[in-house]
Amino acid sequence: MSVNWSKYSAPQAFYPLAGRLIPWFAIVAVALMGVGLYMGFFVAPTDFQQGESYRIIFVHVPAAWMSMFLYVVMAVWAGIGMGLNARLSYMMAQAIAPTGAMFTFLALLTGAMWGKPTWGAWWVWDARLTSELLLLFQYAGIMLLRTSIDDTRRADRSSAVFALVGVVNVPIIYFSVQWWNTLHQGASVSMATGSKMASTMLLAMLIMTVAFWLYSIAVILARVRCIMAERESLSVWDEQTAVIQDAAEAR
Amino acid sequence: MKPRHKRFAFIGLGLLVLGVATVLILNAFQSNLVFFFTPTQVASGEAPTGRSFRIGGMVEDGSLVRENDGLTVHFIVTDTAKRVPVTYKGILPDLFKEGKGAVAQGQLIANGTFVASEVLAKHDENYMPPEAADALAKAKASGAQQSKSLVVPQGKKESL
């Protein structure tokens, strides 16, 4: 069976598809979050030097990964939008920003809560923390820029340029702990050196990462449906047949 | 070339230029981006004089001395090449230990002692249960474990 995927680049076709996918992503995300948190809090062993306080890693690291990953995805959608002049790509970029900002904030918040008992400080201005804070400002800036421009097409293009320019910060965040000496420790899990964690700890962290990933997809799809409905100024989109009822006609 | 190919090429080129510019800028500001100076950098005069800066390294084994007031501590920060004596009056973080990383903020005084106003603990990226850490320490002591770090060797991972 061959599926004509390109038809889903049209909002009319994508809208009902997204609607059908959301519950599945949401259900699996919640289930995995339950499993991941249970493993993280009750199954994973106590750490040899940090005791129990290290357990915030099961939220902190997946949130930080998502904050960077979602930014790259947003920039890619923004780039595709600019290259192809595709409305749906811009809408995807717009839908990703709030979730990315939320994970960035979560990473910074859990980081502060972790920093106080281990390092002895809520916040330090080292390269890792500062560049992650900058990422939060980038997300906020992109969202503000969009709302400050009334014309949708201009707002799309401006925020796409902002998103693309800001993508240079992502490798800076990731490699900051290697390039400069920082208070933040190096990566515990990396492609190059493998894992420096006990295997149950690693498993719980990866489950949480997948859970956050699926949560992001569910929330972003829900948000992109709202954006579509808003932008197309259509009050009713027929889910089953994907027929748009022209608002003017309905009136 | 179709217009959209042109646009993608333009975006790609823009990102490339931006990336190169960023690398150049970061290189230029290299010295401002470090969070702390190592004892070797302090010894070679790279650290600022006459103003406050941070020094980071390992707390040397057996160097921690606590004065009778219970608050003032003396210890030596080392990067295994150079050593800097540090004095600090205040509460140390829980993870502050001999043989572990620490970052101290303060000033160098004339006799070469670093007077700290704040001491932070710097922990590493290894996470494992205490039994595994003990086993590794024992193995290391008996010479079986050659690795300098506490990285879990591939074969032993399953037993954790």
Mean pLDDT of A61-82: 96
Backbone angles phi, psi at A58, to 5 degrees: -70, -15
Tens digit of each residue's pLDDT (9 = 90 or more) over A72-129? 999 999 999 999 988 899 999 999 999 999 999 999 999 999 999 999 899 999 899 9
- Cα separation values, A139 from A70, A86, A112, A169, Å: 10, 21, 20, 12
The pLDDT value given to residue A111: 95
For the CA atoms of B150, A125, A177, B103, the dihedral, rounded to the nearest 10 degrees, stands at: -30
What distance separates the 2 farthest-apart alpha carbons in chain B? 79
Interchain contact, B151 vs A196, CB within 8 Å: yes
Mutual orientation of helices A152-166 and A57-84 as an angle, nearest 10°? 130
**Is residue A12 in a domain?**
no
> Shortest CB distance from B123 goes to which of A49, A126, A164?
A49
Cβ contact B122:B101 at 8 Å: yes
Residues 40-79 of B with CB under 8 A from A: 56
**What is the value of ipTM here, to two decimals?**
0.77
Q: Is A199 left (phi over 0), alpha (psi -120 to 50) or beta?
A: alpha
How many domains is chain A built from? 1
Residue B61 CB-half CA count within 13 A: 2
Cβ atoms of residues B94 and B121 within 8 Å: yes
A196 by Cβ neighbours in 10 Å (0-12 / 13-18 / 19+) ranks as buried
Residue of chain B minimizing CA distance to A197? B127
H or E stretch at B76: strand B72-78
- How many angstroms separate the CA atoms of B118 and A130, rounded? 19
**Better-predicted residue by pLDDT, A71 or B3:** A71
Q: Residue A237: inside a domain, yes or no?
A: yes
* Structural domain of A167: 24-43+54-250
Task: Report the predicted TM-score, pTM, of the whole model to 2 decimal places.
Answer: 0.85
Residue A13, in any domain of the structure: no
pLDDT, tens only, B11-48: 899 899 999 988 888 888 877 778 899 999 888 888 88
User: Could you give the 3-state DSSP secondary structure of residue A101?
Assistant: helix
B26 CB neighbours in chain A (<8 A) are 172, 179
Q: Is residue A133 part of a domain?
A: yes
Q: What is the pLDDT of residue B87?
A: 93
Chain A positions contacting chain B at CB under 8 Å are 45-50, 54, 57, 79, 82-85, 117-121, 124-127, 164-165, 167-168, 172, 179-183, 185-188, 194, 196-201
Residue A173: what pLDDT? Answer: 94
Q: How far is CA B27 from CA A112, A171, B44, in A?
A: 28, 15, 21
In a domain, A15, yes or no: no
- CATH 1.10.3470.10 is the classification of domain B33-122: no
Q: In chain B, what are the domain boundaries?
A: 33-122
Q: Which residues contact B28 (CB under 8 A, 6 or more apart)?
A: none
Nearest to A117 by CA among A22, A206, A48, A51: A51
Closest to A49 measured CA to CA, from A198, A173, A234: A198
Which pLDDT tens digit goes with each residue over A147-206?
999 999 999 999 999 999 999 999 999 999 888 888 898 888 877 777 888 888 999 999
